[in-house]
Amino acid sequence: MQNAVKVLSIISKKGKNRTPIERVYRLLFKKEFYLMAYQNLYANNGAMTAGSDGETVDGMSLRKIDDIIESLQSERYRWTPVRREYINKKNSNKKRPLGIPSWSDKLLQEVIKLILGAYYEPQFSDRSHGFRTNRGCQSALEEIKFKGGWKSVKWFIEGDIKGCFDNIDHDILINILGEKVKDNRLLRLLTNLLKNGYMEDWKYNQTLSGCPQGNVLSPLLANIYMDRLDKFVESKLIPRYTKGTRRNASPEYKKLQKLISRHTYRKEWDVVAKLKKEAHKIPSKDTHDENFRRLYYIRYADDWLMGFSGSKKEAETIKQEIADFLTNELKLNLSKEKTLITHGKTQYARFLGYDIHVLHSDTKLDKRGQRSINGAIGLRVPQEVMNLKEKEYMKKGKPIHKPERTINSDYDIISQYQSEFRGFVQYYMMAYNVHRMGKVKRTMELSLMKTFANKYKSKLNKMYKKYKSTRFIKGKGKQKAKELKVIQIVVEREKKKPLIAYFGGFEIKFQKSAKIEDTPTQIYNTRSQLIDRLLNDTCELCSSHEKIQIHHVKKLKDLRKTGREQANWVKRMIAMNRKTLAVCEKCHISIHSGTYDGKKIG
């Protein structure tokens, strides 16, 4: 495993130096990469989702890795056609195609992703934030509001590429890869992956273009493809539409400032106050300065946003130049319905679920008496987003109970509501109007309490008396600790700390950054306990050393179901608190057939 980490570090250095890499295919013969890939994938929900051949992570073994490597060495490896499913698009009646590959294909794709990701990641633009380590929606929004210098923006150009993943040209993508990856065997393997096809309603269909969404490797390949757009904007458009060091001062504003200075010298304070009020009504800079231009750009996957300081005619020209580049160079088309030009002060641009606009208020002044927010970027929660969230817990305009949740424990019910609410609020913490989420909280809280009332056939006020509590949160700096009302349950346990679940318990207020909790902090992971157990080559039930494989379950809590006597292998997994169990082939077969006697447990 350590050797694999060193190899990836060397590849990453080559990426930083933009040096082409050769003989990459032979790296696919290293077992350590597959162990790293397995470690990255096994905990994902999709690991237990079967592809068209029915294969899942369950039954993972060293022998499976050896079989993949052997077929790659002889160049006999064949990708299995993905199983196509359709999922609903968010806030739309349309459906999005999703390709579900087999487990072996996922494992090999993750290995290729580790290698190519280490090489290409240092070369990607800083303006690209989608599907990248330590980057995401929040980092893109922080770049716009705080770090990117977007203050002088007058126009927003919202960009959306029509069916980006489905329309990626295979030949163009392979040519882009071939410029840096000098290995025909790897390129041939990737070409076969792209042209692999899919199974739908038990019928095979060819794949003529696109990277199937659902494939492990698709996000990286899409970023490699879309990096061409990033480079075009950075090398051609931004230099062309960047001019001047700063805007000229407004002649009218300069006149008023001279008058203010003159009357201040004469100590005519009434006149000074009137002149300052007049000055606050006009811009201090020349907003039509022909010698000042700025163009900013940010991209997340196939969505991108530009901020432009200049005329609308020039903004339309920029939009057309991008459309021409995409059509001619990448064979992609802009969505006419979603690619818009909006005025920064009077309209909202929509990007990553936020409304983005230019703040303007002549009455908000700082300590020096100067206007403090004019020209700054404002992030706002769209009202329809809050309305749609509320509708999930309402019927006919009123909060309702969730009957499907009444079979769960009280702890699980509160935890689920809290998880849904916290995740929604956390995403919008950078919006200046996030405090308006209080109405969403109230709706969800009523739905939660009505769910309890329905579960116990009781009244709402009795449920509030039973579950209502308070929670203290520490103050930051000189701020005092605060007491917040919550819906809470405490589950006592013998010789262990009690389990506590609560709904609410945090302040809904603006933050300069929202922490992304599910983003890894390191590029490469060290060996986990699971890998050690696999390499130990010993059955954890009967101590056999023959044909060891890993038994997986989707959720550990499913094994804790009451009402029937638990098998010994179930007790073993619960005691270990693991969703995995290293077993021999014989024990694994008996577990799935329900005939394991449980007499031998090492």
First and final C-alpha spacing in the chain:
28
Domain regions of the chain by residue span: 1-123+170-208, 131-166+221-248+286-380, 249-284, 395-503, 529-593
Range in 298-307, 423-432, 559-568 with the lowest mean pLDDT = 559-568
Whether the per-residue pLDDT at 63 is higher than 50: the answer is yes
Q: Which of 47-51, 210-214, 360-364, 562-566 has the highest mean pLDDT?
A: 47-51
Q: Which of 162-171, 264-273, 385-394 has the highest mean pLDDT?
A: 385-394
Span 444-482, pLDDT tens digits: 999 999 999 999 999 999 999 999 998 888 777 667 778
Supply the DSSP symbol for 432.
T
In angstroms, rounded to a whole number, what is the distance separating the alpha carbons of residues 529 and 392? Answer: 40
User: Of 513, 512, 137, 145, whose CA–CA distance to 357 is shortest?
Assistant: 145
Six-digit token string for 442: 């109230």
Output the pLDDT for position 521.
35
Q: Within a 10 A sphere around the Cβ of 17, how many other Cβ atoms?
A: 9
Output the pLDDT for position 517.
40
Whether the per-residue pLDDT at 602 is higher than 60: the answer is no
Output the pLDDT for position 361.
82
DSSP assignment of 261-314, as one string?
A: HHHHHTT-HHHHHHHHHHHTTS-SB-TT-TT-BEEEEEEETTEEEEEEES-HHH
Output the pLDDT for position 13.
95
In angstroms, rounded to a whole number, what is the distance separating the alpha carbons of residues 4 and 324? Answer: 42
Of residues 418 and 284, which shows the higher confidence score?
Answer: 418
In angstroms, rounded to a whole number, what is the distance separating the alpha carbons of residues 279 and 270? Answer: 14
Query: Looking at the domain that runs over 131-166+221-248+286-380, which CATH code has it been given?
Result: 3.30.70.270
Of residues 362 and 394, which shows the higher confidence score?
Answer: 394
Whether the per-residue pLDDT at 151 is higher than 80: the answer is yes
Six-digit token string for 87: 């999922």
pLDDT band with cut points at 50, 70 and 90 for residue 495: confident
DSSP assignment of 444-491, as one string?
A: HHHHHHHHHHHHHT--HHHHHHHHEEEEEEPPSTTPPPEEEEEEEEEE
pLDDT band with cut points at 50, 70 and 90 for residue 598: low
Cα-based torsion angle of the residue sequence 422, 428, 431, 437 in order, rounded to the nearest 10 degrees: -50
Whether the per-residue pLDDT at 92 is higher than 80: the answer is no
Q: Is the dihedral of CA 120, 126, 132, 134 positive or negative?
A: positive
Supply the DSSP symbol for 365.
B
| Range 219-238 average pLDDT | 96
Output the pLDDT for position 202.
81
Output the pLDDT for position 370.
78
Whether the per-residue pLDDT at 232 is higher than 50: the answer is yes
Strand partners, 379: 356
- The percentage of the chain sitting over the pLDDT mark of 70, rounded to a whole number, equals 94
Output the pLDDT for position 8.
95
Strand partners, 24: none
What are the strands of the beta sheet with 82-88, ordered from one edge? 95-100, 82-88, 198-200, 203-205
Output the pLDDT for position 2.
60
- The percentage of the chain sitting over the pLDDT mark of 90, rounded to a whole number, equals 58
In angstroms, rounded to a whole number, what is the distance separating the alpha carbons of residues 188 and 177? Answer: 11
Helices and strands, counts by H and E, the chain? 19, 21
Output the pLDDT for position 61.
94
Span 500-544, pLDDT tens digits: 999 999 889 888 766 534 333 334 444 568 888 889 889 988 889
Output the pLDDT for position 459.
95
Phi-psi region of 587 (alpha: psi -120 to 50; beta: other; left: phi over 0): alpha
Six-digit token string for 300: 């997340």
Output the pLDDT for position 514.
61
Of residues 577 and 437, which shows the higher confidence score?
Answer: 437
Six-digit token string for 398: 């009123």
Distances in whole angstroms, Cα of residue 199 to Cα of each of 55, 164, 194: 15, 21, 14
In angstroms, rounded to a whole number, what is the distance separating the alpha carbons of residues 209 and 196? Answer: 10
Range in 71-75, 114-118, 577-581 with the lowest mean pLDDT = 577-581
| Range 530-559 average pLDDT | 87
| Range 137-151 average pLDDT | 89
Output the pLDDT for position 211.
82
Output the pLDDT for position 57.
94
CB of 48 closer than 8 Å to CB of 552: yes
Q: Which of 112-121, 126-135, 149-158, 285-294 has the highest mean pLDDT?
A: 112-121
In angstroms, rounded to a whole number, what is the distance separating the alpha carbons of residues 173 and 194? Answer: 10
H or E element that contains 214: none
Range in 169-183, 240-254, 506-520 with the lowest mean pLDDT = 506-520
The chain-wide mean pLDDT, for the chain, equals 88
> Position 250: which residue type?
S
pLDDT band with cut points at 50, 70 and 90 for residue 556: confident
